[in-house]
């Protein structure tokens, strides 16, 4: 289906939603978890805000959404990196995730959002 604003080249989509407090509690219980889930740049970006968990949760959702869109079964969270301080988020893929996108011949775009309670992301393949 196509129409105004809909790209006929859309080849896949992934979405994820997360309760922010759930991630914040997990990070409190297991402080090293952040190092396994988020790159140094992602942690630094989140740490520059009043509520880092809100920004980490949105990035966690982006990573899950990308994995779903690419139909990944096993992957490393650090192979999906979400950057960007102003404007749309920038996505950098590394390792097996980058190889999968290349094998499919797709570009991956993401959109992030959050409220006080929840974070969400959508990944689209084109």
d(CA 99, CA 70): 11
- For residue 1, what pLDDT is reported? 39
pTM of the complete model: 0.91
- For residue 103, what pLDDT is reported? 97
DSSP reduced 3-state for 83: strand
Per CATH, the number for 12-125 is 3.90.470.20
* pLDDT tens track for 6-46: 555 789 999 999 999 999 999 999 989 999 999 999 999 99
Q: How far is CA 8 from the centre of its chain?
A: 23
């Amino acid at each position: 289906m196509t129409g105004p604003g809909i790209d006929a080249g859309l080849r896949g989509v992934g979405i994820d939603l997360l309760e922010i407090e759930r991630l914040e509690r997990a990070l409190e219980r297991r402080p090293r978890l952040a190092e396994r889930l988020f790159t140094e740049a992602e942690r630094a970006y989140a740490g520059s805000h009043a509520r880092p968990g809100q920004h980490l949760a949105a990035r966690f959702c982006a990573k899950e959404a990308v994995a779903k869109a690419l139909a990944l079964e096993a992957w490393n969270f650090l192979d999906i990196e979400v950057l960007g301080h102003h404007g749309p988020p920038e996505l950098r893929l590394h390792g097996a995730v980058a190889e999968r996108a290349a094998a499919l011949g797709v570009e991956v775009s993401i959109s992030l959002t959050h409220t006080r309670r929840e974070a969400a992301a959508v990944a689209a393949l084109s």
